[in-house]
Amino acid sequence: MPNPYLLLINGPNLNRLGVRKPDTYGTRTLQDVVDLVRETAQGYGVEVLDKQSNHEGELIDFLQQHGPEALGIIINPGAFGHYAYALRDCLEDIDRPTIEVHISNVHKREAFRHQLVLADVVQGQVVGLGTDGYRYAAIALCQLNP
């Protein structure tokens, strides 16, 4: 049997972490975030498969391929979180424990960021706690699924 694994999904523009608006999104790069989640999950004997894409369909293809067998899913959908119904439907279909992460507190920002269309198909959300939010999500998923 393959080792248990989490999916770590990052949506559009998150490849620019560390460079893009560091006051808002911090100074960790995407690779730093992947390493952080991998180290955290490793402590529970859990592996991490990661995917970043600027294209909704690519994220859906990856989720359909690897999601059904995953222990859980950490997803920062970026701006897709505000309007991407196909991504929402994909997560509903896969039906694995999912935690949505937003680095910034989207509720304190522009009105268009207040709507989160994945909200009703995820187990929970970590919002506004910086890139540490990814680590908290990993711990939660590993502990929910011992």
The active-site residue, picked from 5, 25, 83, 114, is: 25
How far apart CA 13 and CA 78 sit, in angstroms, is 7
Binding to ligand DQA by residue 15, rule CB under 6 A?
Answer: no
Task: Give the closest residue to 125 by CA, choosing from 144, 98, 143.
Answer: 98
Look up tokens 């989490």; give the residue.
6
Stretch that binds ligand DQA, among 46-54, 64-72, 78-86, 116-124 (CB under 6 A): 78-86
When binding is defined by CB under 6 A, the residue of 5, 54, 66, 79 that contacts ligand DQA is 79
Rg from Cα positions in the chain: 14
Task: Give the closest residue to 48 by CA, choosing from 64, 31, 61.
Answer: 31
What single-letter amino acid sits at 59?
L
The first and second tokens of residue 101, run together, are 């992460």
CB of 45 to ligand DQA, least distance (A): 28
* Beta strand ranges found along 53-144 (DSSP E): 72-76, 98-102, 124-127
The active-site residue, picked from 66, 83, 85, 102, is: 102
The first and second tokens of residue 31, run together, are 């690779």
CB of 81 to ligand DQA, least distance (A): 6
CB of 71 to ligand DQA, least distance (A): 22
The yes-or-no answer on residue 102 being catalytic is yes
Binding to ligand DQA by residue 76, rule CB under 6 A?
Answer: yes
Query: How deeply is 20 buried, as exposed, middle or buried, from its count of CB atoms within 10 A (0-12, 13-18, 19+)?
Result: exposed
When binding is defined by CB under 6 A, the residue of 63, 104, 125, 126 that contacts ligand DQA is 104
Stretch that binds ligand DQA, among 39-47, 53-61, 63-71, 96-104 (CB under 6 A): 96-104
The yes-or-no answer on residue 66 being catalytic is no
- Chain residues in the site for ligand DQA (CB under 6 A): 13, 76, 78-79, 81, 102-104, 106, 113
Q: Which residues are tagged catalytic?
A: 25, 102
